[in-house]
Structure 1
């Protein structure tokens, strides 16, 4: 079951949590590839010990580059049919991936975007929620998509879609670039409610209000 699904996990200095993230994911989805993006800690070794395939960048290139490397690895596996982009810091929930996959299979979708704004499980904070909604409005205005949460890192992509993506933006702008490229394709997509779990640890890794402001600023500058 789920042998045709690969989780692609960008990994950068997450030694504190990555083993647990990989173990929990592999209870349902056995195939996980972690792209170690030049970590200075023990992240790569711990991910491998937990059962992930680890591909390494010798230097830090950014999350967009890590996702592209993960996509290329997954495409090298003949039996892969679905890719899930999944965070390394414990924010994403495996049960949400199951629901997204069920939705895609039931409705013949090519892409399912996770959205933290379709239910009330995610406590993003009023200011961060407002800034992210402004980013969504800008993305919807400038791409051929209509989403409620364009910068959620939890996404389900069919093999066909992954093969047609080419991420060139390495930093925060990669998320809007990915949405823009998908919007330009003639594919079926939908959103599914997900729970983004903000913890003290994940906030310390860049999930602050300032990070949301950076997303909006980079969108406008781009």
Structure 2
């Protein structure tokens, strides 16, 4: 069945997500969007399962990291006539209904980036420790970018074709989420936040960031700035 919204491409970066990827892809495809899954060197059946569920699959032969996988997805979307690109996590914590809300925001607010915010929207089963980590990361981002964001490291976001084309991710690990915000600030293209819902599960929490990951992100960002 052809997509109802062929101008929108949903990019999903995936690494060893065989237990959930088919359901995630099927939900997005059923909503009428084109889906490209970048299988980032998975050692399980992530790629074949995503393809069977209706996604186009682009495969990295080795694991390069989520930033590199998203950049591959952006490049694919732009090469295949996307007018809007949406990033969507592979672990099942995002709601498909929020895709339309983000894309509508791009058009109604005439912005190049619509950033999902769980703190303008809602969360389900968010642990206090994770909330504190996210609050610290958001404060750091506001200080270092000048962007008055309410959320950071939220993988649910939409961008216009122009917005996607201007991003060039160099941070291959989790620091790419901060790097996107730094680049938005530097580019000066219009952006806004949009309320979204994040539903946490034992699976997504196990996949998510811990305090040690936050330290790694800071080191990655500092090293990147030193070599600019």
Band of TM-score, shorter chain: over 0.9
Cα distance in 2 for partners of 1:95, 1:193 equals 12
1:188: which partner in 2? Answer: 190
Deviations 1:56-86 (A, max 9, x none): 00000110010011111111012x1100011
CA shift in 2, pair 1:76/1:133, >3 Å: same
Partner of residue 85, structure 1: 87
Q: Secondary structure of the equivalent of 1:152?
A: coil
Contact 1:113–1:155 (CA under 8 A) maintained in structure 2: yes
Which digits, 9 at most, give the CA deviation of each residue in 1:173-219, with x for residues without a partner? 11111110011112211111111111122223x22xxx242343234
Q: Choose the corresponding residue for 2:214, options 204, 213, 216.
A: 216
Unaligned 5+ residue runs, structure 2? 223-228
Alignment-derived partner of residue 20 in structure 1: 23
Large movers: runs of 4+ above 6 Å = none
Query: What is the aligned counterpart of 2:45 among 42, 53, 64?
Result: 42
Structure 1 unaligned regions, length at least 5: none
Deviations 1:34-62 (A, max 9, x none): 00000001110010011100000000011
- Kept after mapping to 2: 8 A contact 1:36/1:44: yes
C-alpha RMSD of the superposition? 1.3
Kept in 1: contact 2:122–2:198 (CA 8 A) = no
Residue matched to 1:163: 165
Q: TM-score of the superposition, structure 1-length normalised?
A: 0.93
- The worse-fitting range, judged by mean Cα deviation, of 143-152 and 54-63 is 143-152
Q: Check conservation: 1:11, 1:34, Cα contact below 8 A.
A: yes
Higher strand share: 2
Paired residues, number: 217
The aligned counterpart of 1:54 is 57
Q: Is the 1:144–1:184 Cα contact (8 Å) retained in structure 2?
A: no
